């Protein structure tokens, strides 16, 4: 059993987006790890459920669309092998050159120091509008 704090694993996941160090996540992602991003694939290009190597494809698509400026974990709670996080992300929508702030809820299941599953929930309608270049509350043009 790992002695790694599950909250630190969550922090490492979100820091990887800001530092653009997705390779740093490799030790935390197993072949059976599952990531799930909310939304319609036609609206949110990285929406869906991904396992194993497909996770890296989904994260690459996400990085193609978003430039993470700041990620702040506002709250986190643990329950057994689960970590629940409330996160505010400040991102630049690359295609629209629009800065967008969004709050997400994340659920991580940790097993032996690795991420077994990650599920992310956010306001996909607002994110979809931002991806389309429509400014929303919390979005500012750069």
Is 91 a member of any domain? yes
Number of domains in the chain: 1
Domain range enclosing 94: 6-18+27-141
- Please name the residue ranges forming H helices in 37-106: 53-65
Q: What is the CATH number of the domain that holds 99?
A: 3.10.450.50
| Assigned token pair, 56 | 């890296």
The pTM of this model reads: 0.89
Q: How far is CA 16 from CA 6, 41, 48, 68, in A?
A: 16, 23, 20, 10
CA atoms within 13 A on the CB side of 139: 21
Confidence (pLDDT) at 128: 92
Residue 45 pairs in a beta bridge with: none
Any domain includes 1: no
Q: CA 78, CA 109: separation in Å to the nearest integer?
A: 10
31 within a domain of the structure (yes/no):
yes
pLDDT of residue 136: 59
Residue 95 included in any domain: yes
How confident is the model over 80-109, as a mean pLDDT? 94
Residue located via tokens 């992310």: 120
Q: Which tens digits make up the pLDDT trace of 129-141?
A: 999 988 655 544 4
26 contact partners, CB below 8 Å, separation of at least 6: none
* Chain mean pLDDT for the chain: 90
Confidence of residue 41 (pLDDT cuts 50, 70, 90): confident
Ramachandran angles phi, psi of 18, nearest 5°: -70, -40
Range 6-16 average pLDDT: 93
């Amino acid at each position: 059993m790992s002695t790694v704090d599950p909250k630190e694993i969550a922090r490492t996941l979100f820091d990887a987006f800001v530092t653009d160090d997705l390779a740093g996540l490799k030790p935390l992602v197993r072949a059976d790890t599952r990531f799930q991003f909310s939304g319609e694939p036609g609206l949110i290009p990285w929406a869906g459920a991904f396992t194993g190597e497909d996770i890296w494809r989904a994260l690459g698509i996400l990085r193609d669309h978003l430039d993470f400026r700041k990620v702040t974990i506002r709250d986190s709670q643990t329950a057994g092998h689960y970590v629940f996080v409330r996160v505010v992300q400040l991102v630049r929508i690359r295609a629209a050159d629009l800065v967008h702030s969004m709050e997400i809820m994340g659920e991580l299941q940790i097993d032996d120091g690795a991420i077994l599953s990650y599920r992310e929930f956010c306001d996909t309608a607002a994110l979809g509008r931002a991806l389309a270049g429509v400014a929303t509350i919390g979005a500012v043009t750069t």
